[in-house]
A and B are shown apart, each in its own frame.
Chain A
Amino acid sequence: MSVTVHLPAVLAKLADGRRALDAPGATVGQVVAHLAALYPDLAPRLRDESGRPYEFVTFYLNDEDIRLDGGFDAPVSDGDEITIVPAIAGG
C-alpha cells in the first residue's frame, strides 16, 4: 500500500528538496514513521518526541484534517494523498 505525501517548501528542504514523496503504511502514522526513518532531518519536524503531531503542523488525508477522523491512526488506502500544512491562519 503506497500513498503520496506532499510537503511544504520548508519541509522539502529536509527531504532532498522533494515536494512529493511516495511512502507505504496502513495508517497516516505509519506513513509518517516511514518518512521519518527515511529522512532523519525531517523526522523531528513531523512529530514530537512522543510521536504526536505538533499543534502547528496539520496533516490532511485527501483534503480532510486528520484530527476530525482519528489523527495518526486514520487508515489510508492505496493512492491516497497526505498533505502537510504548517501553521495555517485566521481570518
Chain B
Amino acid sequence: MIERSLSAHQGVRSQRCRICGVTSQPAPEAICAECLGPLEPVYDPDRPLPAPEEIARRPPTLWRYREWLPLTGRPLHATEAGWTPLVPAPALARALGIRWAWVKNDAVSHPSLSFKDRVVATSINAAAAFGMSTVGCASTGNLANAVAAQAAAAGLRAWIFVPDDLEPGKIIGTSVYGPRLVRVRGTYDDVNRLCAQVADHFGWGIVNVNLRGYYGEGSKTMAFEIAEQLGWRLPDAVIAPMAGGSLVTKLHKGFGEFLDAGLVRGAPPRVYGAQAAGCAPIVRLVETGGDRIQPERPRTIARSIAIGNPADGGFAARVLRETGGWAAAVTDDDLIAGIRLLAETTGIFTETAGGVTVAAARALARAGRLRADDELVLCITSHGLKTVEAVARAREPLPIIDPRLGAVRRLVESLDDEPSKLEAS
C-alpha cells in the first residue's frame, strides 16, 4: 500500500547524501541508497538570489527565504508560517551576566506555537508535491501539534504517533485537529523506530522520517530571520535546545548560507546546545570529544527534547565544537527556574525545552563558555501553556480573598510588595 506519484505543478529539489555525497532525484526518501546516510536537499549554486531589499519587500513569512528552501515552486500550504518576533531581553542579559540578549520567540509561531511549524511548512509542501495524501510523524508533542494543525488546514490525512504518557496539553493540542492520533507504549525512541518502519511499509509522508531532508531545511529560517531582524548582521552566539540535534546544525547552516550569499558579514555565530541532564547524549559527546552517540534512556520532565538516540547528534556535536560554542545539561529543577527566569525578565512563557535553554545559557555563562561581552540569541522554541504541569508543581500558593478593597489593602501591607507582582509569585 504505497501511495506516491509525482505531481507536475510543484517541484522539490534533488537531495545529496551527507556522508558519501551521492546525489539522488527528488523523492520521499531520507536515506542514501548507496551508504544509508542521511539525505539533504541540494541547491544550484548559480541560482539567482535576492538582495536584502527584495527580501524585505516580501510578505513576513518564512517563504521570503524561498531560494534557500527545498521547494522549487510556490508553497501550497502553510503559507503564513514563520517570521516570529526577535525580542530584546536586557533584564535577562543582566541575569545571565552577558552584554546583550535577544529571544527568538517561536513560542508564538503560527499556527501551533512551536518552531516545528517551520519544519512542517517545508515538509508538508514536499508531501503535497509528491502527491501524498497522508502525512504523519513520530513526536514528543510539538511536532504532533504542528503536523495535526497544518494537515488539517491542508486537507491531508494525518497519522501521528506519540509516547503514551505525553503531557495532556500536547495530546489535546493534537487531537483537536482530528488526526489519527496513536499513543505508543514506550519512549520517543520506540515511537521513532516504529515510524521508520511505518514509513517504509505504508509509504506515507512521515515528515521527520522519509521527508526528513525536506523537513530539516525549514529550521534554517530561524537563522535567516535572526540575521534579517538584527539588520542583516549576525550575533556573537546563539543557543538552542537539542533533541534530535537537527536545529543547532540548521542554525549554523542558515547563518553560513547567508554569509556565502553576502547578505551578512563576519564570523559565524558560536552555536551552543542545551539538554536536560536526564537525557543529554549530545552534551556528553561534546564533553568527551567522541565521534559517536551513546544512546540513553531518557529521565526528565523536558519531554519535548527527551530523545535518547538523537539522529543528528554527531553532526550537532561537531557544529558546537567547530564554531567555538559548547553544550550544557541542566537538572529538572534548573529548567523550571529557567522557565520562570524567562517569564519574569521578558514576559515570555516557554515550555520545558525553553527552560532548559535559559538554564543552560546561565550555566554556560557562569562557566565562562559564554563571554561577558557576548550578544546572545536564545532560541525559545515552544509555548509554556503546553506544559503547565512543569511550573504548576513549583508554584507557590496564591492568596484567596473576599471581594473587598480592605482585603486587598491587608494583603498589600502583609506582602510589602507591589500589587502587580502578586500574580507572579
A residues apposed to B, CB below 8 Å: 8-11, 45, 54-58, 60, 63, 65, 67-68, 83, 85-91
Which chain B positions have C-beta within 8 A of A83?
A: 193, 197
* A90 with B311: CB separation less than 8 A: yes
Q: Which residues of B contact A68 (CB under 8 A)?
A: 295, 297
Given A67-B294, A90-B245, CB of A45 within 8 Å of CB of B36: yes
* Min CB–CB distance B280 → chain A (angstroms): 15
Q: What 9 additional pairs, Cβ within 8 angstroms, besides A55-B314, A56-B19?
A: A54-B36, A56-B37, A57-B36, A83-B197, A87-B31, A87-B37, A90-B208, A91-B138, A91-B243
Which of A65, A87, A91 touches B38 (beta carbons < 8 Å)? Answer: A87
Interface presence of B139 (CB below 8 A)? yes
Partner of B193, one of A9, A54, A85, A91: A85
Comparing B65-73, B86-94, B184-192, the segment that makes contact with chain A is B184-192
Q: Chain B residues with Cβ under 8 A from A88's Cβ?
A: 192-193, 195-196, 209, 309, 311
Docked CA distance A89–B246 (Å): 9
Give the complex CA separation of A63 and B38 in angstroms.
22
**Bound-complex Cα distance A15 to B33 (A):** 14
The residue on A at minimum CB distance from B297 is A68
Q: How far is it, in angstroms, between the C-alpha of A45 and the C-alpha of B195 when the chains are bound?
A: 21
Interfacial residues of chain B within 245-304, with CB under 8 A of chain A in the complex? 245-246, 292-295, 297
CB distance from B206 to the nearest CB of A (A): 8
Given contacts A56-B36, A56-B37, contact A89 B314 (CB under 8 A): no
Closest Cβ of chain B to A67, distance in Å, is 5
The tally of residues in B whose CB lies under 8 Å from a CB in A reads 42
Are the C-beta atoms of A86 and B245 separated by less than 8 Å?
no
Distance (whole angstroms) from the CB of A49 to the closest CB of chain B: 12
Residue from the list B29, B36, B208, B297 in contact with A91, Cβ < 8 A: B208
SS class, residues of chain A in contact with chain B = mixed
CB distance from B1 to the nearest CB of A (A): 13
Q: List 17 A-B contacts (CB under 8 A).
A: A10-B36, A56-B37, A83-B193, A86-B36, A87-B30, A87-B38, A88-B209, A89-B196, A89-B208, A89-B212, A90-B244, A91-B138, A91-B139, A91-B188, A91-B192, A91-B208, A91-B307
Closest chain B CB from A14 CB (angstroms): 10
Asked whether B80 is an interface residue with its Cβ less than 8 Å from the other chain, the reply is: no
Which of A67, A88, A90, A91 has its CB near the most chain B CB atoms (within 10 A)? A91
B336 on the A face (CB < 8 A): no
How many Å lie between the Cα of A43 and that of B183 in the bound state? 36
Q: Name the A residues within 8 Å of B364 (CB-CB).
A: none
Inter-chain CA distance A42–B38, complex, in Å, is: 18
Residues in B with CB closer than 8 Å to A10 are 29, 31, 33, 36
CA distance A48 to B244 in the complex (A): 23
Contact A91 B143 (CB under 8 A): yes
Closest to A85 in B: B196
Is B310 an interface position by the 8 A CB rule? yes
What is the CA–CA distance of A21 and B375 in the complex, to the nearest angstrom? Answer: 56
A11 to B35 Cα, complex, angstroms: 10
**B137 within 8 Å of A by Cβ?**
yes
B295 touching A67 by the CB < 8 A rule? Answer: yes
